[in-house]
Amino acid sequence: MTTFHYDRTIRFNDTDGAGVVYFANLMSICHEAYEASLVAAGIDMPAYFRGHPVAVPITHSSIDFRRPLKCGDPLQIELQISILDESRFAIDYHLTRNSEEIATGRTEHVSIDSDSQTKVPFPLDLRLWLHFHDVDC
């Protein structure tokens, strides 16, 4: 399994009144990194998120904070993807600022039929994304 790397600078609109990244925004930034990993694998984002017969909602998310981030701080995110079963995968996020651990997070996703809302095996585009990141499914 390979690790996907995503670099970003913290923006003013990521922060709260105290001048640090608002807690919910850090999970949003993790999702931004997930989306970047889809694009890197050649996924057609408009098709992936709209009108696709299979949806991939997040069923669990968590994040543990270690250090604050402020506007202008560089942020590096490493994503590690793992298969949970034939229709579920997890992404573990390791967030650092210049090698200093900032936070760790996790999202769990399930592949479902968009109409019936029942679990289904990973669709082809998602399997290609997993293979691109050297995850066997």
Q: Report DSSP letters for 34-103, one per residue.
A: HHHHHHHTT--HHHHHSS-SEE--EEEEEEEE-S--BTT-EEEEEEEEEEEETTEEEEEEEEEETTEEEE
Query: What averages of pLDDT result for each successive group of 10 residues across the chain (137 residues)?
Result: 91 97 97 96 85 92 98 98 96 98 98 96 92 85
Q: Please check whether residue 4 is in contact with residue 130, taking contact to mean a CB–CB distance below 8 angstroms.
A: no
Whole-number Å distance between alpha carbons of 44 and 88: 21
Q: What is the rounded distance in angstroms from the CA atom of residue 118 to the CA atom of residue 38?
A: 23
Q: Residue 46, Cα to own-chain centre: how many angstroms?
A: 17
According to the model, what pLDDT value does residue 102 have? 98
Which position among 16, 44, 113, 134 bears the catalytic label? 16
Architecture of domain 3-132: Roll (3.10)
The pLDDT score that the predictor gives to residue 50 is: 78
Give the pLDDT score at 127: 92
Phi-psi region of 74 (alpha: psi -120 to 50; beta: other; left: phi over 0): beta
Q: Is 44 a catalytic residue?
A: no
Residue 14 is classified by DSSP as G
pLDDT of residue 135: 87
Question: H/E element holding 21?
Answer: none
Q: Are 21 and 10 in contact (CB under 8 A)?
A: yes
pLDDT at 18: 96
- pLDDT on residue 112: 97
